[in-house]
Amino acid sequence: MEFAELIKTPRADNVVLHRPFHMAVEGTLCLTGHHLIFSSRRHDNAEELWLLHSNIDSIEKRFVGSLGTIVIKCKDLRIIQLDIPGMEECLNIASSIEALSTLDSVTLMYPFFYRPMFEIIEDGWRSFLPDQEFELLSSVTDEWRLSCINRDFSVCPSYPPVVIVPKSIDDEALWKVAMFRHGSRFPVLSYYHKKNGMVMMRSSQPLTGTNGRRCKEDEKLINATLRPGKRGYIIDTRSLNVAQQARAKGGGFEQEAHYPQWRRIHKCIERFNILQESLIKLVEACNDQSHNMDRWLSKLEASNWLTHIKEILTAACLAAQCIDREGASVLVHGTEGTDSTLQVTSLAQIILDPRCRTIRGFESLVVREWLQAGHPFQQRCAQSAYSNSKQKWEAPVFLLFLDCVWQILRQFPCSFEFNERFLIMLFEHAYASQFGTFLGNNENERSKLKLPQKTMSLWSWVNSAEELIKFQNPLFEANSLVIWPSVAPQSLQLWEGVFLRWNRPSKFLDEAQEEMINIIKYNKQLQAKPNLCPDGRRGVCTAGLHGKEKVETLRLCMACRTLLTGVWSFDTSSARDGSTVS
């Protein structure tokens, strides 16, 4: 086993662990191939800490005499400190952690070794297949088809094997369109708005170059999504300036002359290292408790994080508005179509489609719009806020998306089936996980790595009844409406659950949350109580109605009480009430 070579000192005693909100505790440190394990020796209250090496973002070591100290900064933003007696042990451990947390080979990652301790009821790898999605679609429209042109990933390496395209466009045309789009990411269906039949498509930039190349098939493909006489909108997630500059490198944007039925709107969403810098600055600001108010606010501002949130949300609202309010179809793309494009298309769906606000629907959205759509998770999430590698491909694109979802969740706290914990869990697993779901950069890589066969899917675990309950929002009341969030700066907030999580005890907030859940539970109990009503019609009372209707049920029950006693005081209205019971 090659891990053994990397672990020179597998175990150290008398190590002191410091971590947020806990007293320093002494214990034993063990290193295994994938975990750093610390267990306290105190018998009364044995504590264990298991930390995945892949969760470690960076480590620092320093010495005072022979006492070494290792500071471990994690991708979930937590910082822990280990005081290790003995210089040699400390050095060995530090270098092991460093090596084990930066393994090159994906197949050495923990998901390939992890064996689940829970019973698998449903294989998450098969929970969200494109065919199922298409089946749903074909029940409402027959204008689309499933194309297997990318069966062996030969047309577009970052697309899934099957994609949904307009029925009138054959695979031969798709070939030509693929040649005309960056990374061969030709326009595919992202979302179908049942209410008015409008659609959202996504792609990468067209390769017009400086001489204004055009591609008839490309024009035909996207025009195929328009109703006669209707216009569509192209949302380019770059500024006009950036889009124009892209032409010099062979990229570009759709020229009005060739796409007369489309209006182009440029919305600038930042990408790559600008976002990573932003995350680093934000976390730095949050971690320094000594900042006075002015410094805190200016650091928060300088991070630009909330500016990015506002930009992304604004673009998503714009796309949703085009579809729902303007009754127009939309094509979204930036340069590669793997980052800002996906932020916009997925958030627009959360605004428009109530299904995406359920747990399963959201999972399906993450699978469709992020995993299958080829967001390069492995590159983007290689490092987090404590990174010092400064690689261009590292960027918290997915975290920004989750933050935007959290902002909408805060504004519509009763419209989501999942809670904040669910979003935080996804953030953690995107960066370090025992599951294979977020490994690889696209479906092509995942199939080569044989992830479905060799690793466990995150969804198998999340969707087990035991886990699911932790992620449910007790306030959820399904609503079929479009939810428009406010994007005013006064309405946006720092996501404390992620960024202040390790800096501020949340005991009182958690307790309040618990109390809230208790009130809701108690309410449900009371609602069920009228079944006491002993008139032999209890079946109606337990009809499993929700919310408002439950209240009605109670009224009916109260009515049967009045019926019960009400025969004495005969009253037509209560009699009528009573009759609705039977």
To the nearest whole angstrom, how small is the minimum distance from the Cβ of residue 342 to other proteins? 19
For the CB of residue 64, give the shortest distance to other proteins in the complex, in Å.
28
Strand 35-40 versus strand 48-52 pairing type: antiparallel
Residue 436 Cβ, how far from other proteins at the closest point, in Å? 36
CB of 407 to other proteins, least distance (A): 10
| Binding segment toward other proteins, per CB under 8 A, in 104-112, 146-154, 160-168, 412-420 | 412-420
Q: Does 211 bind other proteins (CB under 8 A)?
A: no
Binding window for other proteins (CB under 8 A); candidates: 120-128, 293-301, 341-349, 450-458: 293-301
CB closer to other proteins, 150 vs 562: 562
Contact 275, 400 (CB under 8 A): yes
- Residue 20 C-alpha from the chain's centroid: 26
CA pseudo-torsion sign 349, 352, 356, 362: positive
| Cβ neighbours around 578 below 10 Å, total | 21
Q: In what order do the strands lie in the sheet with 35-40?
A: 48-52, 35-40, 25-31, 11-18, 79-85, 67-74, 56-64
Range in contact with other proteins (rule: CB under 8 A) among 54-62, 380-388, 443-451, 550-558: 550-558
Query: Binding of other proteins at residue 582 (CB under 8 A)?
Result: no
Q: Which of 65, 117, 568, 572 binds other proteins (CB under 8 A)?
A: 568
Which of the residues 303 through 342 are near other proteins (CB under 8 A)?
A: 304, 306-307, 309-310, 314, 317-318, 321, 324-326
**CB of 298 or CB of 391, closer to other proteins:** 298
With CB under 8 A as the contact rule, the residue among 107, 239, 565, 580 that binds other proteins is 565
The tokens of 388 are what? Answer: 């010092």
Nearest alpha carbon to residue 191 among 351, 339, 377: 351
Residues 163-182 that bind other proteins (CB under 8 A): none
358 binds other proteins (CB under 8 A): no
Give the nearer residue to other proteins in terms of CB position, either 250 or 505: 505
CB of 18 to other proteins, least distance (A): 19
Q: Which is nearer to other proteins, 274 or 551 (CB)?
A: 551
Binding mask 361-400 for other proteins (x = CB under 8 A): ----------------------------------------
We find the least distance from the C-beta atom of residue 289 to other proteins, in angstroms, to be 5
Q: CA-CA distances (angstroms) from residue 147 to 128, 171, 212, 218? A: 17, 7, 29, 16
Nearer to other proteins by Cβ, of 98 and 496: the residue is 496
Tell me the torsion sign for CA atoms 91, 92, 98, 101: negative
Q: What is the DSSP letter of 191?
A: E
CA distance 539 to 488: 49
Helices (H), 339-383: 340-352, 359-366, 377-380
Neighbours of 130 (CB within 10 A): 18
* Span of 128-136, 272-280, 335-343, 493-501 interacting with other proteins by CB under 8 A: 493-501
494, with CB counted inside 10 A (0-12, 13-18, 19+), is middle
Q: Contact, 96 vs 7, CB < 8 A?
A: yes
The position carrying tokens 């869990």 is: 425
* Cα(386)–Cα(393) distance, integer angstroms: 15
Residue 457 buriedness (CB in 10 A; 0-12 / 13-18 / 19+)? buried
Q: Confirm or reject binding of residue 295 to other proteins (CB under 8 A).
A: yes
Q: How far apart are the first and last CA of the chain?
A: 71
Contact 215, 176 (CB under 8 A): yes
Amino acid making up residue 554: L
Q: Nearer Cβ to other proteins, position 444 or 562?
A: 562
Give the range of 46-54, 196-204, 387-395, 510-518 binding other proteins by CB under 8 A: 510-518
Q: Which of 567, 576, 579, 580 binds other proteins (CB under 8 A)?
A: 567
Q: Which residue shows structure tokens 């708005």?
A: 193
The whole-angstrom distance between residue 408's C-alpha and the CA centroid of its chain comes to 13
Give the x/- contact pattern for other proteins in 511-540, rule: CB under 8 A. Answer: xx--xx--xx-xx--xx-xx-xxxxx----
Relative to beta strand 329-333, strand 232-236 is parallel
- Nearest in space to 429 (alpha carbons), one of 467, 405, 387, 398: 398
Residues 233-292 that bind other proteins (CB under 8 A): 233, 263, 265, 267, 286, 289, 291-292
- Interface pick for other proteins out of 184, 205, 415, 457 (rule CB under 8 A): 415
The minimum distance between CB 514 and other proteins, in angstroms, equals: 10
Least distance in Å: CB of 422 to other proteins?
16
Range in contact with other proteins (rule: CB under 8 A) among 84-92, 220-228, 300-308, 332-340: 300-308
Q: 329 or 460, CB closer to other proteins?
A: 329
Query: Site residues for other proteins, window 455-484 (CB under 8 A)?
Result: 475, 479-484
State which residue, 116 or 489, has the beta carbon closest to other proteins: 489
Q: Does residue 551 interact with other proteins by CB under 8 A?
A: yes
Closer residue to other proteins (CB): 20 or 534: 534
**C-beta closer to other proteins: residue 66 or 491:** 491
Q: Which one-letter amino acid corresponds to residue 154?
A: S
Q: Does the protein bind other proteins through residue 555 (CB under 8 A)? A: yes
- Decide whether 148 or 414 has the Cβ nearer to other proteins: 414
485 makes contact with other proteins (CB under 8 A): yes
Closest approach, Cβ 310 to other proteins, in A, equals 5
Name the residue nearer to other proteins (CB basis): 132 or 298: 298
**495: burial class by Cβ within 10 Å (0-12, 13-18, 19+)?**
buried
Per CB under 8 A, does 572 bind other proteins?
no
- Nearest Cα neighbor of 187 from 217, 152, 208 is 217
Query: How many chain residues bind other proteins (CB under 8 A)?
Result: 92
Provide the token pair at 438. Answer: 């977020």
Alpha helices by DSSP H, 139-215: 171-180
